[in-house]
């Protein structure tokens, strides 16, 4: 995520974004793309225990989107995620 927008502006509720993600697999890389309107962005803890993390949980960056067909999507952002603002 190398664009010049701050996280707050990039993930502002009501803004339209495209999220590109890559999943590394032993047989290669799988890519996905999701577009929608930002509902919410923030860090949330998982249900999994993770040693020495805050509250003994693993915290993830989560972006909630509403797609054009009304579907709500929750995306976990990682180092392979790229968020592009759309107009």
**Structure confidence by residue, pLDDT tens digits, 42-74:** 988 776 665 566 566 677 899 999 999 999 999
CATH number at residue 28: 2.30.30
| CA 36/CA 39 separation, integer angstroms | 9
**Is residue 56 a part of any domain in this protein?**
yes
User: How many other β-carbons are positioned within 10 Å of the β-carbon of residue 28?
Assistant: 8
Q: Report residue 32 as tokens.
A: 């996905």
**Is residue 59 a part of any domain in this protein?**
yes
**Is residue 71 a part of any domain in this protein?**
yes
Mean pLDDT of 80-87: 92
Pairing between strand 16-25 and 82-86? antiparallel
**Structure confidence by residue, pLDDT tens digits, 13-53:** 999 999 999 988 899 999 999 999 999 999 887 766 655 66
| CA 3/CA 73 separation, integer angstroms | 23
What's the pLDDT at 52? 61
Global pTM reads 0.76
**Is residue 60 a part of any domain in this protein?**
yes
Residue range(s) defining the domain that contains residue 66: 7-86
What's the pLDDT at 51? 58
**Is residue 1 a part of any domain in this protein?**
no
């Amino acid at each position: 995520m190398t664009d010049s927008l701050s996280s707050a502006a990039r993930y502002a509720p009501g803004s339209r974004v495209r999220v590109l993600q890559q999943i590394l697999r032993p047989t290669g890389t799988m890519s996905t793309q999701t577009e929608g309107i930002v509902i919410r962005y923030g860090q949330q803890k998982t249900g999994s225990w993770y040693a020495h993390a805050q509250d003994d949980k693993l915290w993830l960056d989560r972006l909630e989107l509403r797609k054009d067909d009304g579907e709500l999507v929750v995306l976990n952002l990682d180092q392979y995620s790229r968020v592009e603002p759309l107009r």
